[in-house]
Amino acid sequence: MTERKMMAVLNGASVFPPPIWVMRQAGRYLPEYRATRSQAGGFLDLCYNPGLACEVTLQPIRRYGFDAAILFSDILVIPDALGRKVAFQEGEGPVLEPLDLDRVGALDLTRIHERLGPVYEAVERIRGALPPETTFLGFCGAPWTVATYMIAGRGTSDQGPARKAALRDPDGFAKLIDVLVQASIAYLARQIARGADAVQIFDTWAGVLDESEFERWVIAPTKAIVAGLRAIHPGARVIGFPKGAQALLARYVAETGVDAVGIDWTMPHAFVRAELQDKVAVQGNLDPMRVVVGGRALDEGVDRVLEGLGAGRLIFNLGHGITPDADPANMARLVERVRAAKR
């Protein structure tokens, strides 16, 4: 079998036109997703229903033929599997039982695979149903980002509750991060064992930390996950996405051992070429708003990414997830323009 296009880039090749997938490609902007979602009940019910999770993972592959599919799940299945109460309220997002750091010892690592069994079944079903040329990505939330939700009980504008907790009690916060590192290693390793080709670590809230806190709560845990995963699966391919990291991305790449790094739409291409792209593959970085607006704004944005980063190792993606108000026709236009690109 010929090598999957995206895996070729993760393995060191430069491919043009580059492989393409988009974060949140299975989601609310697609009418077929909304129809399937209505069958599931709650959002976590959808994540834990192997048949429906498989279906929504495959929907954007059928519609657009992306070069990669990503497991449909959520970063908060880890705290759920650790025994914390997690719910998703319509219009409000996730709501968790806030965690006091003196209760970290009650988190139960021994039963996470039991709770996550339906996710692993979905992984097997998806791999069996995907076209052979399609890369299959597993994922987890990074420990810092998952911890921010666990501490606050919900997302906040600056994740202040977790930042305060980490500064006031760094030793206690480190114990939480250590639990999340071990849970993430186990979770990602099982996804690879069941059929994922590579995995992505989403650190959505990395950009709110100062340099020293970024080193401790983003770089060090990611390095530990990569090392722990490769101790189980040597050669495992890992994409890191510390959103908002800016210039700290260079240290993240140098120290964590990731094979590719996601870049948001604010990153200058000159910096990415000079500091990152000769070391790892880069993934991104079209502004998701351009997919909402469409037309010339979309075309110019696509061309700018290809011109700025297409000479090196590139996985074309958005700088963050596609938004629910995006027009599916604009996504089709994006894919067509990337695929038709010439050097």
Digit-coded pLDDT (tens) for 174-191: 999 999 999 999 999 999
Catalytic, 304? Answer: no
29, 33, 37, 337: which one is catalytic?
37
**Residue 3 banded pLDDT, cuts 50, 70, 90:** confident
Average the pLDDT over 305-329 and give the result: 98
29, 64, 120, 149: which one is catalytic?
149
What pLDDT is recorded for position 93? 80
What pLDDT is recorded for position 137? 98
Catalytic, 149? Answer: yes
**Residue 268 banded pLDDT, cuts 50, 70, 90:** very high
4, 24, 163, 313: which one is catalytic?
24
Q: How much of the chain exceeds pLDDT 90, in percent?
A: 95
pTM: 0.97
Query: 91 pLDDT exceeds 80?
Result: no
What pLDDT is recorded for position 163? 97
What pLDDT is recorded for position 42? 86
Query: 89 pLDDT exceeds 90?
Result: no
Catalytic, 48? Answer: no
Catalytic, 29? Answer: no
Catalytic, 74? Answer: yes
Give me the residue spans of the domains in the chain: 5-340
Digit-coded pLDDT (tens) for 61-76: 999 999 999 999 999 9
Query: 2 pLDDT exceeds 70?
Result: no
3-state SS string over the chain?
CCCCHHHHHHCCCCCCCCCECCCCCCCCCCHHHHHHHHHHCCHHHHHCCHHHHHHHHHHHHHHHCCCEEECCCCCCHHHHHCCCCEEEECCCEEEECCCCHHHHHHCCHHHHHHHCHHHHHHHHHHHHHCCCCCEEEEEEECHHHHHHHHHHCCCCCCCHHHHHHHHHCHHHHHHHHHHHHHHHHHHHHHHHHHCCCEEEEEECCHHHCCHHHHHHHHHHHHHHHHHHHHHHCCCCEEEEEECCCHHHHHHHHHHHCCCEEECCCCCCHHHHHHHCCCCCEEEEEECHHHHHHCHHHHHHHHHHHHHHHCCCCEEEEECCCCCCCCCHHHHHHHHHHHHHCCC
Q: What is the CATH number of domain 5-340?
A: 3.20.20.210
Query: 157 pLDDT exceeds 90?
Result: no
Query: 95 pLDDT exceeds 70?
Result: yes
Digit-coded pLDDT (tens) for 214-248: 999 999 999 999 999 999 999 999 999 999 999 99
45, 63, 74, 299: which one is catalytic?
74
Look at 162 and 89; give whichever has higher pLDDT. 162
